[in-house]
Structure 1
Amino acid sequence: MADPTPLVSIAGASLSAEINPLGAELHSLRDGEGRDLLWDGDPAFWTGRAPILFPVVGAVAGGVIRVDGRGYPMAKHGFARRKTWTLVEHDAAAATFRLLPDEETRSAYPFDFRLELRFVIDDKGLSLSATLTNPGQAPLPASFGFHPALRWPLPGGAPRDRHIVRFAEPEPDPIRRIDRDGLLRPAPEPSPVEGRAILVRDAMFEDDAMIFDSLSSRALSFGAAGGTILDIAFPNMPFLGIWTKPGAPYLCIEPWHGIADPEDFAGEYRDKPGVIEVAPGRDHIFAMRIDIGSATLLG
């Protein structure tokens, strides 16, 4: 039986990737030696690989968003990851996918929109840019997030317990956690960052994701001396989640423009933390980049 959503391949000198039109989800990312940098979706731990989060990031209170006083059912992380996107452009090193509203999306998100996600591999890395266009006559509220699950350990032989996340800037501000319903707890927790670095450990994720909602950095590195190091940039994404299931061989590094509802949030979707509004006829671009790096940030 034929695959209803065949993968789309792109490649360059140092990387190759496959994208699944279902969710416009990065399905594989391999270095020039063919080694996997991205999690493979093993259902023993988690079937995701790199879902796209739209039009919400995280959970919403009561499972609904409120637009002009009316409630609309909204699943955690939105609907984009479960929709089949249209491939609108493809060449050897780039691919662009488009998502448009339909009856199903309007039942949860009563807005017209056009969302295009472009993947480009160049000499060093992979760029992802999501362009949200507002074709309507009123401001378009939205959140968006990337959710790539990277191998932990990364290929190259460095031990798992030596892997570090090192931020471009010091990150002393407290972090946030979510409750059992996925909502943002009111009390912050001390930052796990020492200077600019986190030596990542499974125990850090026994209470789910670490959420950075007061972030100075717009770039970080992940890896270990003696192995592969990835440089990750997210120039216009003000929030960051770092997550795994304890014991799972992946680490999700998730640049977000949005966040889960606070536990006591009962307001309009437009007023939800992290939501932007795109003016009629205008675009907003969300971007991140993954490069095969050096030891500069790991230091």
Structure 2
Amino acid sequence: MALINIANEYLKVSISTLGAELQSITDAEGNERLWNGDPAFWAGRAYVLFPVAGGFKDDCYELDGVRYDMGKHGFARRAEWQVETAEAGKAVFLLTEKNAGFPFDYELRAIYALKENALEVSYSVTGCDERAFWFSVGCHEGYMTPEGIEEYEVVFDEEECLAAYPLEGNLCLHEPVVIAENTRTLPLKYDYFKTDALVFRGLKSKGVTLQGGRDGRKLRVDFPDHPVLMLWTKPNKAPYICIECWCNGPDFVDAPANIAEKPGFMRVEKGQTVSRTHTITFIK
């Protein structure tokens, strides 16, 4: 495991080769903006989720009649990645690891690029196998909320009916629970996370802003290519909130086993490349 650092006049960013996981994002005033991974709450910081975000029903999927076992969030977050490029303001990490649950030839790149006060994060998958395969990607970044999340709010770009899909274990129930109607603003409460994450599907918004705290901290996450937004923290007064952009959502309780029938999964043939990007902008 090694740390790769990129920086500009606005941000300093460190990324580990283990999981291609962000380890630190420091702003120009020296404030740490990324969750610090305190194991008393959550030892992760910013998982890369591949080839699934969340969990499959029965921890497996089928493709062309063959069953493949796959745990929650896939395996990329625990793998050692290669450093393909490391420049002053950009780093590219490469993963080609196969296993019994994903026995396909592929290239997955995690690309971190600084653009003034923003960090652009792209996941790019190239098919290298003679067989077509299906995959999804997602991010799992946590952000510091030193005063606790109840001093913060999430502001959506569009007015929304905020209806979250309840989780039963790793799986979604079909009937969403309305948290708030006709609003752009969601004041955060630990009670929301007593069972697990808030799962939002089909939002009109393609970006959200996290703001609050004593110093009026503000950051924005844009997710133009991701149909699922997750908010998550531990309910034990944890001082962070995860804003997670996923291509697929957690399987529903009655989800089909065939991965081709699961919403949000993308098919890749040999020589084809599919990319998804989200951007984190530190406004204050």
Which TM-score bucket, shorter chain as reference?
over 0.9
Contact 1:209 1:241 in 2 (8 A): yes
Q: Secondary structure at the match of 1:128?
A: strand
Deviation at 1:134, TM superposition (A): 1.2
2:243 match: 253
Percent of matched pairs sharing the same residue: 34
The 1:193/1:39 distance shift into structure 2, 3 A limit, reads farther
2:232 match: 243
Runs ≥4 in structure 1, deviation > 6 angstroms?
none
Q: Deviations over 1:256-284 (max 9, x none)?
A: 10111111123211211211112432111
Backbone CA RMSD of aligned residues: 1.6
Contact 2:148 2:240 in 1 (8 A): no
Q: Secondary structure at the match of 1:170?
A: strand
Q: Deviations over 1:78-111 (max 9, x none)?
A: 0000100100100111110000033xx2x00132
TM normalised by structure 1 equals 0.90
2:71 match: 75
> What are the ranges of 5 or more consecutive residues in structure 2 without an aligned counterpart?
none
Contact 1:173 1:214 in 2 (8 A): no
Q: Secondary structure at the match of 2:5?
A: strand
Name whichever of 166-175 and 44-53 sits farther off.
Answer: 166-175
TM normalised by structure 2 equals 0.94
> What are the ranges of 5 or more consecutive residues in structure 1 without an aligned counterpart?
295-299
* Counterpart residue identity of residue 178, structure 1: L
> Partners in 2 of 1:101 and 1:176 — Cα distance?
33
> Partners in 1 of 2:68 and 2:148 — Cα distance?
46
* Counterpart residue identity of residue 221, structure 2: I
- The size of the alignment, in residue pairs, is 282
Q: Does 1:234 align with 2:198?
A: no
2:6 match: 10
1:283 match: 273
The 1:208/1:192 distance shift into structure 2, 3 A limit, reads farther
1:60 match: 56
* Counterpart residue identity of residue 56, structure 1: V
Q: Which residue among 203, 210, 215 is the counterpart of 1:222? A: 210
1:188 match: 176
1:91 match: 87
Q: Deviations over 1:38-81 (max 9, x none)?
A: 11111111111000000011111111111222221101000000
Name whichever of 158-167 and 192-201 sits farther off.
Answer: 158-167
> Partners in 1 of 2:150 and 2:59 — Cα distance?
37
2:168 match: 179
Relative to its length, the structure with more strand (as a share) is 2
> Partners in 1 of 2:260 and 2:102 — Cα distance?
12
1:169 match: 158
> Partners in 2 of 1:20 and 1:213 — Cα distance?
30
